[in-house]
Amino acid sequence: MDGIFTSEKNITIIWKKRDTDTIRMFVVGVIIITIGILFGILAAYPYFYYLLKIRAPQPRFIPQKSTKYPRISIVINAYKEGELVAERIKDICKTEYPLDRITLYVFNDGADSETSAAAKSVLPTCPFETHLIEPENRLGKTACQNKAISLISDEIIVFTDSDITTKSDALLRLVDVLLEKNVGAVCADLIPVGSNSSVAGSEGAYRSVYGKMCEYDSGLDSTYNFNGPLIAFKKTAVPHVEETRGADDANLALTCINNGYRALYVSDAVAFELQPVSLKEQFSQKIRRADGLINSTRLFKNAGKNSNRKFWRETFPKRKWMLLYSPILFMLAVLFGMTGVFLASPILGFGLLIFVIAVILFTMLQPKNLISSFVMNQFFLTVGLIRRKNILQWDRVEK
């Protein structure tokens, strides 16, 4: 009898210990989940800020339309672009901007023979002055841009890529804004197009909000999240673009702002950009862009510390948080959240794991929504932060 009672007592003690361990793990799990939620709030803070701001009507910068347009120099940057260069030149010839006020420079970086032949087949037909510059050794996009700046005497310079087309009035809309006294640089709105609907859809969902955020920043003061495929600027505002670190478009805008001018996103100037032919190519392009934007932000992180401009006091800190801190905080939020749920309840943990896998699959298969675009963007930025690469010469992406 004593043995039986002893066994029952031991079983009771074991069950009580198990209950205590379960409660302890549950409490620890809840604490870790709470930490994960805090990380998530910190990661999402600037995004919620922008979502609230862009939902409200915003004052728009409306310039006076010019009656006499100045001379401009357009620079096409090309690296192994082939026939795309010819198509871009033809598209420029269709612009509503006065053709007698245009000089065109085509930089065939690395002197690719196919690109050279394509450019030479079209340039003689242009109704304006043209120049084909072909550095034999590859310089990189920003180095070519700086060489162009040093060669050009016109005050207004336009940088454009080979893989875009534009609305015929795009240059007019850009220059109208750029002629304002305190404006030093402007960029066009970018609409993704391509044969791969998944790639174009993913980029389109991201761009729909991206553009509104840039418009808000421009209304406040300036934005440095420029669309590199079509930028116009004043040479006095940007006499040189930093070429040893960062993205060419972001560096150009930040240089302009740091020199006391405004850098604006002009949604009325519309360009259409060809997207990569596959998700793999898009992945490569997005990682590269993330690297560039992160490095540009780090490069100018101490600029404007003593300035009272709204850009340096409000816009730049939030953008810096989004680029340098939000991605890591988001990943920590996911990690802590999943770990906490597993500790609190293994069954719920497995359920959450299945849910996360489903979200990842949904993001890959249905990329045309804002949530998918946000998750993918955090991933690209996290990879960029971890790699800490400074890519000065980009490989061509198939489009």
pLDDT, tens only, 71-116: 999 999 999 998 999 999 999 999 999 999 999 999 999 889 999 9
What sign results for the dihedral spanned by CA atoms 332, 337, 342, 346?
negative
pTM: 0.85
> Do 261 and 183 form a contact (C-beta atoms < 8 A)?
yes
Asked if residue 143 is part of any domain, the answer here is: yes
Structural domains counted in the chain? 1
| Per-residue model confidence (pLDDT) at position 348 | 72
Task: Please report the pLDDT score of residue 343 as a whole number.
Answer: 82
For the chain, the residue count is 399
Q: Is residue 91 part of a domain?
A: yes
Note the pLDDT of residue 315. Answer: 96
Query: Could you tell me if residue 158 is inside a domain?
Result: yes
Q: Which two tokens stand for residue 366?
A: 């249905």
The reply to whether 8 falls in a domain is: no
Q: Torsion-angle region of residue 29: left (phi > 0), alpha (psi -120 to 50) or beta?
A: alpha
Task: Find the distance separating the first CA and the last CA of the chain, reported in whole Å.
Answer: 84
pLDDT of residue 8: 56
Q: What integer pLDDT is reported at residue 359 of this predicted model? A: 67
Cβ-contact 117, 82 below 8 angstroms: no
Task: Strand 164-166: give its sheet, edge to edge.
Answer: 129-133, 102-108, 72-78, 156-161, 230-234, 183-193, 262-274, 164-166
Dihedral over Cα of 61, 65, 66, 71: its sign: positive
pLDDT at position 284, please? 76
- The reply to whether 186 falls in a domain is yes
**What is the span of the domain harbouring residue 167?**
72-308
Q: Write a three-state SS string for the chain.
A: CHHHHHHHHHHHHHHHHHHHHHHHHHHHHHHHHHHHHHHHHHHHHHHHHHHHHHHCCCCCCCCCCCCCCCCEEEEEEECCCCHHHHHHHHHHHCCCCCHHHEEEEEEECCCCHHHHHHHHHHHHHCCCEEEEECCCCCCCHHHHHHHHHHHCCCCEEEEEECCEEECCCHHHHHHHHHCCCCEEEEEEEEEEECCCHHHHHHHHHHHHHHHHHHHHHHHHCCCCCCCCCEEEEECCCCCCCCCCCCCHHHHHHHHHHHCCCEEEEEEEEEEEEECCCCHHHHHHHHHHHHHHHHHHHHHCCCCCCCCCCHHHHHHHHHHHHHHHHHHHHHHHHHHHHHHHHHHHCHHHHHHHHHHHHHHHHHHHHCCCCHHHHHHHHHHHHHHHHHHCCCCCCCCCCCC
In this structure, what CATH number is given to the domain that contains residue 162? 3.90.550.10
**Within-domain flag for 361:** no
| CA 161 to chain CA centroid, nearest Å | 16
Q: Does residue 328 lie within any of the structural domains?
A: no
54 in Cβ contact with 212 (< 8 Å): yes
Residue 198 · residue 282 · CB < 8 Å:
no
Q: Which of 212, 281, 233, 198 is nearest to 73 (CA)?
A: 233
Instruction: Say if CB 273 and CB 266 are below 8 A apart.
Output: no
- Helices 197-220 and 2-55: crossing angle in degrees, nearest 10, is 60
pLDDT of residue 192: 84
Contact 130/85 with Cβ under 8 angstroms? no
- Has residue 112 been placed in a domain? yes
Q: What residue ranges of the chain have pLDDT lower than 50?
A: 1-5, 15, 198-200
Give the pLDDT of residue 251. Answer: 97
User: What are the structure tokens assigned to 304, written together?
Assistant: 């404007």
